[in-house]
Amino acid sequence: MNTRSLMTLVAAALALHVASAAAHGDEDHATPRRYDAAKVEETAFGHEGDPAKARRVIPLGMSDAMRFTPADISVRRGETVKFVVRNDGRLLHEMVLGTPADLKAHAALMQKFPEMEHASPNMAHVKPGASGEIVWQFTQAGEFQFACLQPGHFEAGMLGRVVVTGDPAAMTDGEVRRVDKGQGKLTLRHGPIANLEMPGMTMVFRVADPRMLDTLREGDKVRFSAERVNGSITVTAIEAVK
């Protein structure tokens, strides 16, 4: 073999290597998963959600300080949410949803087999500077977790909590006092909100989606659900009462 054909061979091998590395990156990071209702599998903490039914987007940050921000999330049973996870660090991070027992076992496995790579709908591996998504429907009430299972990250405390609260039908009665479309805010006089342990009062809420304000008028009687989302008391569902 002459030098030239050897160089060609080396170049070809390099190109192949680069191509396969890029393919790994692309398959589970850049390209969004395609939702296929026929392939959805139920777990103890719910199942992959239909992106068309995700009415709430929850942005999350991941940092090299081995933290998720926010690390505490509340959702309502039956709700489909879209987590948009941004990697603000310089290391690879991931978000894996599961039961505390699942995640602990999975983390131990990752310590043993650090090269292990897998992709399922409850996880998003995110390269530095990039964003990933998980669309999930929580079908069971309870306390679940999300963690980064890159070797050592879970052990360093890269862990968060999802509390799935009770009955989706549990709503609070209220009356619209003010609709502020510009700010995406709604003032309601309301009865006690059980899940927030809040007594009845008149207060300003954020709304999960500004479109929720489109049909509301001052004086309307409503039923609504409110939760703490990213530190703000937020109306996550609302309907007018005739």
Interface with Cu ion (CB under 5 A): 93, 148, 150, 153, 158
Toward Cu ion, which CB reaches closer, 157 or 192? Answer: 157
Toward Cu ion, which CB reaches closer, 56 or 153? Answer: 153
* Helix H or strand E encompassing 230: none
The amino acid at 153: H
Structure tokens at 65: 């300080």
From the CB of 77, what's the least distance to Cu ion, in Å?
A: 28
From the CB of 55, what's the least distance to Cu ion, in Å?
A: 28
Alpha-carbon distance 11 to 174, whole Å?
Answer: 69
Phi-psi region of 231 (alpha: psi -120 to 50; beta: other; left: phi over 0): left
Name the CA dihedral angle for 140, 145, 146, 152, rounded to a multiple of 10 degrees.
-150
Alpha-carbon distance 146 to 123, whole Å?
Answer: 9
Q: Is the N-terminal amide bond of 128 cis, ω within 30° of 0?
A: no
Alpha-carbon distance 40 to 50, whole Å?
Answer: 9
Helical spans, DSSP H, in 88-155: 100-112
From the CB of 171, what's the least distance to Cu ion, in Å?
A: 37
From the CB of 31, what's the least distance to Cu ion, in Å?
A: 21
From the CB of 150, what's the least distance to Cu ion, in Å?
A: 4
From the CB of 93, what's the least distance to Cu ion, in Å?
A: 3
From the CB of 88, what's the least distance to Cu ion, in Å?
A: 11
Look up tokens 């949803």; give the residue.
97
Look up tokens 């393919």; give the residue.
23
Report DSSP state, residue 226.
Answer: E
Nearest-CB residue for Cu ion: 148
Toward Cu ion, which CB reaches closer, 76 or 153? Answer: 153
Toward Cu ion, which CB reaches closer, 158 or 212? Answer: 158
Toward Cu ion, which CB reaches closer, 22 or 65? Answer: 65
**Separate counts of helices (H) and strands (E) for the chain:** 2, 15
Toward Cu ion, which CB reaches closer, 96 or 148? Answer: 148
Toward Cu ion, which CB reaches closer, 62 or 162? Answer: 62
